Structure 1
Amino acid sequence: MNIHFIQHETYEAPGAYLSWAESRNCKISFSKVFQKDVLPYSIEFIDMLIIMGGPQSPNTTIEECPHFDADAEIRLIQKCISAGKAVVGVCLGSQLIGEALAARFNHSPEKEIGVFPITLTEDGKNDEKINHFGNILNVGHWHNDMPGLTKESKVLAFSEGCPIQIVSYSDLVYGFQCHMELTTEVVSLLIESETDLLDKSTKHLFVQNPETILSHNYNEMNEKLFQFLDKLIFTYKN
């Protein structure tokens, strides 16, 4: 399997997604756009595209962030979807998938940073790729926005602070507003990037302080993600 990652910032690392790809002996490639890597021109050697998060939004312009070209990423996502590739978006990545399908992103009702439960919808409970999550699962969050929805999409999970946490756009295309890839190492990088996190934790209902975020064990969440990715690859191959 050929897995290609788009990574927008050093601290928005692929974490458990990369661990899964390595453990399954996948061929791994990157577009680290923060290092000015170019996006792949051809998708011939991509089986799964994984678009990571970032502080940008789909509205961020090249003038505002020279290393982030939303339109170029959207075109790549569209090519992969049209070609029947597996596509997974995380946070900003999920919003870019929605944009690629003409579904505009929105601001989330609440800022969420830390570990909070998501609840599966009826569609989520019936989705064979994620129903092993159980009705309620504690997962990572680090966001202000949420992905848009198409007529065909299904909301599979929500949280108290955000009504759109996991979306299936098709059998092979999924958006995760939540961050199930978080590990202690990735969380440490994210905390370093949030210079005012402690202050935010006193002002926002769904923002935890750094010590609380670092104290979580992310293993169960990561293992649930591994199982989802295994199921997604099985669907892609069949």
Structure 2
Amino acid sequence: MKICFIQHEPYVSLGYFRTWVKDHHYDLQIVDCHTQKPSPQLANDADMLVVLGGPQNPHTTLSECPYFDAAAERATIKAFIAQQRMVVGVCLGAQLIGETLGIPYEHSPEKEYGAIPVHLTNEGHRDSLLQNFQDGALLGEWHNDMMGTNSHTPVLAASAGCPRQIVRYGSLVYGLQCHMELTPHDYEILLEKMGTIINCHQQYHYVQSAKHIRQIDCQPMNLNLANFLDLLVKRYQS
């Protein structure tokens, strides 16, 4: 089993994804957008594509960010879907899945930074990949936007600040606006690199202070991610 990651920034890391890959002895491939362009050819020998987050948005142009090629990423996502591979998008990655399917991303009603309670929708309770999901668990958040959806892409989980936390785009294709992969180290790096808004946390309902963020217990959200990924692989193999 080979898991391929598209990484947009070195400080937006694989987090717990790396631990999960290592624990299962899967092969790991990382496409660093700073040095390598994503390609549809990746779908020829990888079983899963994970598109990570980043400070860009799906409409960021090459002139604005020369190493972020949204068109190449959409083509890569499309190839994985066409070959019936697993595709998981996180934050920006989830928004790119929607854009690939012709569903535009949107701005989230609220900014969310820290860890926010996320609850399953009725459709989420019926999705077998979320059967072990800890409903109402605090999940990592670090976003201003949210993925697009339509009548064919059910929302499986939502928070008070963002109505689209988990979306099913296909039986093997899921978008995660939340960051269940975050570890304490990842939070520390995000605070260092992208934590300016944290200084204004009192202006926002769902932006937490640096002190609060440093006290987040990441193990429950990491377990939710592991359970989801294990069931996704089981579905793929069947």
TM-score using structure 1 length = 0.97
Structure 2 residue 65 is matched with structure 1 residue 37: no
- The answer to whether the Cα contact below 8 Å between 2:12 and 2:52 also exists between their aligned partners in 1 is yes
* Cα distance in 1, alignment partners of residues 20 and 53 from structure 2: 18
Q: Deviations over 1:120-154 (max 9, x none)?
A: 00010111111311331110000001111133211
The answer to whether the 8 Å contact 1:197/1:210 transfers is no
Quick check: 2:39–2:72 contact (8 Å CA) kept in 1? Answer: no
CA–CA distance in 2 between the matches of 1:53 and 1:197? Answer: 17
Q: Secondary structure at the match of 1:136?
A: coil
Tell me whether 62-71 or 124-133 shows the greater mean CA deviation. Answer: 124-133
Q: CA deviation at 1:11?
A: 1.4
CA distance in 2, matches of 1:110, 1:195: 17
Aligned to 1:160: 160
Who is 1:22 aligned against?
Answer: 22
Q: CA deviation at 1:108?
A: 0.2
| Corresponding residue SS for 1:202 | helix
Contact 1:102 1:150 in 2 (8 A): no
Partner Cα separation in structure 1 for residue 3 and residue 46 of structure 2 = 6
* Gaps in structure 2 of 5+ consecutive residues: none
CA contact (8 A) 1:150 1:169 kept: no
Runs of 4+ aligned residues of structure 1 deviating over 3 Å after TM superposition are none
Which residue pairs with 1:144 in the alignment? 144
The aligned residue for residue 99 of structure 2 is 99
The correspondence of residues 161-176 of structure 1 with structure 2, limited to 5 A, is 161-176=161-176
Tell me how far 1:38 sits from its aligned partner: 2.4
| 60-69 or 134-143: bigger deviation | 134-143
**What secondary structure sits across from 1:129 in the alignment?**
helix
Aligned to 1:79: 79
1:195 deviates by 4.4
Letter matched to residue 129 of structure 2: K
Letter in 1 for 2:93: G
Contact 1:98 1:150 in 2 (8 A): no
User: Identity percentage over the alignment?
Assistant: 41
Q: Any conservation in 2 of the 1:62–1:69 contact (CA below 8 Å)? A: yes
Q: Give the structure 2 partner of residue 56 of structure 1.
A: 56
Separation in structure 2 between the aligned mates of residue 71 and residue 37 of structure 1, nearest angstrom: 14
CA RMSD in angstroms comes to 1.1
Q: 1:37 corresponds to which letter in structure 2?
A: Q
Q: Superposition pairs for residues 215-234 of structure 1, below 5 Å?
A: 215-234=215-234
Q: For 2:38, give the aligned amino acid.
A: L
Q: Structure 1: 5+ residue runs without aligned partners?
A: none
Distance 1:162 1:142 in 2: 11
Partner secondary structure for residue 133 of structure 1: coil
CA contact (8 A) 1:166 1:174 kept: yes
User: Paired residue for 1:193?
Assistant: 193
